[in-house]
Amino acid sequence: MDALDFEPDLRMISEMAQKIYQPDLDTPGNVIPQFDGYLTLENVPLKTLLERKLHPHEYLGGGNGLATTTQIIKQADVILALYLFEEKYSLETKSVNWEYYESRTEHGSSLSASSYALLAAQVGKVDWAYKYFIKTATIDLNGEGKQYVGPLYIGGTHPAGNGGAWMSAVFGLCGIHFWEDSISINPCLPAHWRQVKLSISFRGQKMRFTLSHHSVIIEALNSAEIALLILINGQNYDLPKVGAMTIPANS
């Protein structure tokens, strides 16, 4: 920290965090507007909006793009906020907003699909979580990413989107979350996945996870100084110092 000299940046980020606007109340069933006045805009299907384009590379946003007077949005802003501030909002609020914005999001950003995958996994929409995981995981394989904004070529690889694919799989479908001194695991694997194996290092503890529809196996690969608590589907377990433990998935 001293070498990078970013203490002033940390103070500024802390000050900014206190001033970021978030809706104060979580009223289950309510749609959180993308911005003030959003819900008064034209509620047009995405397909209809795309049919209005005069050129295939026409940009929908900007100051006077086709989408600016409609409820069609470029990316998953509200959805990402619901995921990042997951403890602030109920599952009902997350589900209602996921449903509302899913049909109104154009996914012009390569970071959008992973946000939908992450929240879909939280609210139990496993098939949708898998669909959006595949969408972000294959973005550099199928050429479906946005290539042009008007006459400007913006194609290329999407490393941030690739990171979103990893997050969609590990944090979303595998349901792994890190807290201060614990790890929670709530898998929601797609039906056709037999198991997922992955290695993670957290607070000096190296672990290997094997997740399936039947069990969660955690192997401690070294002896760390800090004791970690493992929460699997809401049940508490102490991670062994070295060795493996197997927990039935329905425990």
Q: Delimit the domains of the chain by residue range.
A: 26-173, 178-248
Q: Which residue positions in the chain have pLDDT lower than 70?
A: 1-2, 23-26, 28, 250-251
Collapsing DSSP states into helix, strand and coil, what is residue 192?
coil
**Residue in this structure with the two tokens 């989408």, named with its chain if needed:** 67
Closest CA to 198 of 174, 181, 233: 174
What is the model's pLDDT at position 251? 47
Q: Does an H or E element contain 195, and which? A: strand 195-202
Q: Which residues contact 49 (CB under 8 A, 6 or more apart)?
A: 60, 66, 67, 70, 72
Domain made up of 178-248: CATH architecture = Sandwich (2.60)
What is the model's pLDDT at position 75? 94
Task: Supply the pTM of this predicted model.
Answer: 0.87
If one looks up domain 26-173 in CATH, what number appears?
1.50.10.10
Domains 26-173 and 178-248 share a fold: no
What is the model's pLDDT at position 157? 84
> How far is 141 from 190, CA to CA, in rounded Å?
22
Residue pair 128/120 in contact by the 8 Å Cβ criterion: yes
Angle at 195 between CA 220 and CA 217, to 5 degrees: 25
> How far is 174 from 47, CA to CA, in rounded Å?
33
